[in-house]
Structure 1
Amino acid sequence: MPINVPYSMPAREILENENIFLMDDKRAATQDIRPLNILILNLMPEKEKTETQLLRLLSNSPLQVNVQFLRTETYESKNASRSHLEQFYKTFSQIKDHRYDGMIITGAPIEHLPFEQVGYWNELTEIMDWSINHVTSVLHICWGAQAALYYHYGIGKYQLPQKLTGIFNHQLQNATVKLLRGIDDEFLAPHSRYTEVFEDEVLACEDLILLSSSKEAGPFIMMSKDEKHVMITGHIEYEALTLAEEYQRDITKGIACDIPKDYFPGNNPNNKPVNRWRSQAYLLFSNWLNYYVYQETPYQWK
């Protein structure tokens, strides 16, 4: 997919070095096609890393994609420069009169807080309400998935006795759903969180379909029956070294944590981990873009 990325965005150079097909506004304007417009609400602290991860996965399709990053107005990020946010991000008040073909709501390291105590919770719920009539399909990741399950379907999150971190095996629960086309019956994906949702509560919700789960990590991929919402409780967008960076960060901060499960070769943090979930991540994002965004969105929003 030729993905339209601002020329000065830091992710651009990284992705070009990986031979990802990128274009800028000038070239995009010469193509007489209707691009998909994707909105990304980036709640992760290290904005630039998340930008690169998501743009990489959105690139694997023949569709042209325009991406707009969104930040919160009620909370200012402490880990991203103001100039970066002002140059590449908009706020909800700036985009609320627009419509988007797809939207991604990322995770956030705030699981210890009840949802209502999150500083931008009211703003997030306003955005989630707005998305119902202004976005064709929304993909929610990790804490973003838990927030969607809670707000839209009344399914709560529960504290784990210790951080769930590592690479876990997952099984398909409903292989006939389009989102899972081409996905292996069993596949690996990263998780990094302190809370969980209960599978029995997901199964009891008549508006949800459980698509994939893990015996150790619990429900992984869920979708609303109206295909409006996709929830992923893990971080399939992570790069090979992301969990290692998080582990070293926790160790440096003096946080007691286990070595990420089944991640470092030989369970030795001195050994460089490898990416064993990349193909599933590309396919999952490509399926979402194709079947739930491109195939469903109107050519011209009214």
Structure 2
Amino acid sequence: MPIKIPDDLPARGTLEAEGIVVMRETDAIRQDIRPLRIGLLNLMPNKISTETQIARLLGATPLQIELTLVRITDHVPRNTSADHLATFYRPWSEVRTDRFDGFIITGAPVERMPFEAVRYWPELQSILDWTQTHVHGCLTICWAAQAALYHFHGVPKHELPQKAFGIFRHRNLAPASPYLRGFADSFDIPVSRWTEVRAADLPSGSGLEVLGASDDTGLCLVSDAQRRSLHIFNHFEYDTTTLADEYARDGAGQIPANYFPGNEPSSAPENQWRGHAHLLFGNWINQIYQTTPFDLAAIGRG
């Protein structure tokens, strides 16, 4: 089934060229089904790339998805044009009365700062609380996952001596989890972060469950069933060349591990994680579909 996004969103052309079915508003209205409403709070610097990456994975699932792009109310990003934001994004202050079947919060390039030092931290705290009353299922990525665990459970983050950067093998620790349906016993996923959350810091009795982890880079997936949330510390959504782009952006310093063939940056990398990325997002969407109320107004009411 298709994903419904604005006709002029730059991601549309990319997705259509890849064979992802993208639905127009008039076609969506004709279908006698309720689409799943998914919100995306995009905190990444390159918002257009992130929009495309997330929409690609949502659009490959077998359900009709209506994607709403959301931004922090008063924060002005430096890397995205004001026209793009005004055309395609809604500030959270405008959507805070809406209800969503699913809500995704991305990472942000602020992970080495204390949470309280981030200018939009108070609003993000309000958004995290709002997901408990207006969202059926929440998915957080990288820094947002760390922020959610800190906000709800007081779990600290720890700065790493060196950036965790590259493709790392992870162990499937919960094969019976609905989020890992179809996953192999181990899987390779991109990692790109300066900080980590440690399993030893997860409070006992919190209901937090570690679903996947790496011997090299620690936690990857943590489920918080009580809050209907899935936290991802790494980047299933990354494109094949995203780590190469980050390597170039950072001045060709630290070479991403297990990424370039022969560890040679002039060699084109191969995507080793695409299948599991589609599985994870498909499983998340399916879990929402199986449990969300048909009436949007009933979301968050117990």
Same fold flag (TM > 0.5) = yes
Q: Counterpart amino acid of 2:168?
A: F
Q: Counterpart amino acid of 1:258?
A: Q
Q: Superposition pairs for residues 17-166 of structure 1, below 5 Å?
A: 17-166=17-166
Q: Counterpart amino acid of 1:28?
A: A
Of 124-133 and 218-227, deviating more is 218-227
SS at match of 1:226: helix
Cα shift at 1:174: 1.2
| CA–CA separation in structure 1 for the residues paired with 2:205 and 2:250 | 36
1:15 maps to what in 2? 15
Equivalent pairs counted in the alignment come to: 297
Cα shift at 1:226: 2.3
| CA–CA separation in structure 2 for the residues paired with 1:172 and 1:270 | 32
| CA–CA separation in structure 2 for the residues paired with 1:115 and 1:3 | 34
Q: Superposition pairs for residues 196-235 of structure 1, below 5 Å?
A: 196-202=196-202, 204=204, 206-226=206-226, 228-235=228-235
Q: Counterpart amino acid of 1:301?
A: L
2:295 maps to what in 1? 300
Q: Counterpart amino acid of 1:280?
A: H
Conserved? CA contact 1:172–1:186, under 8 Å: yes
Conserved? CA contact 2:75–2:120, under 8 Å: yes
1:250 maps to what in 2? 250
Query: Is 2:263 the partner of 1:267?
Result: yes
Deviations, residues 250-275 of structure 1 (Å, cap 9, x unaligned): 016xxxx4200000000000001011
1:180 maps to what in 2? 180
Q: Counterpart amino acid of 2:79?
A: N
Conserved? CA contact 2:132–2:227, under 8 Å: no
| CA–CA separation in structure 1 for the residues paired with 2:205 and 2:111 | 22
CA RMSD of aligned residues (A): 1.1
| CA–CA separation in structure 1 for the residues paired with 2:82 and 2:32 | 35
Instruction: Specify whether residues 156 and 238 from structure 1 end up closer, same or farther in structure 2 by C-alpha distance, changes over 3 A only.
Output: same
Cα shift at 1:53: 0.2
| CA–CA separation in structure 2 for the residues paired with 1:195 and 1:216 | 13
Conserved? CA contact 2:209–2:223, under 8 Å: yes
Cα shift at 1:177: 0.9
Cα shift at 1:203: 6.7
**Matched-pair identity in %:** 46
Deviations, residues 48-102 of structure 1 (Å, cap 9, x unaligned): 0000000000012221000000011231110000110011000111111110000
| CA–CA separation in structure 1 for the residues paired with 2:56 and 2:220 | 21
Q: Counterpart amino acid of 1:34?
A: R
SS at match of 1:295: helix
Cα shift at 1:202: 2.7
Conserved? CA contact 1:74–1:119, under 8 Å: no
Conserved? CA contact 2:167–2:190, under 8 Å: yes
**Where does structure 2 lack aligned partners over 5 or more consecutive residues?**
298-302
Of 135-144 and 227-236, deviating more is 227-236
Cα shift at 1:24: 1.2
Deviations, residues 208-237 of structure 1 (Å, cap 9, x unaligned): 000000000101000013261100000110
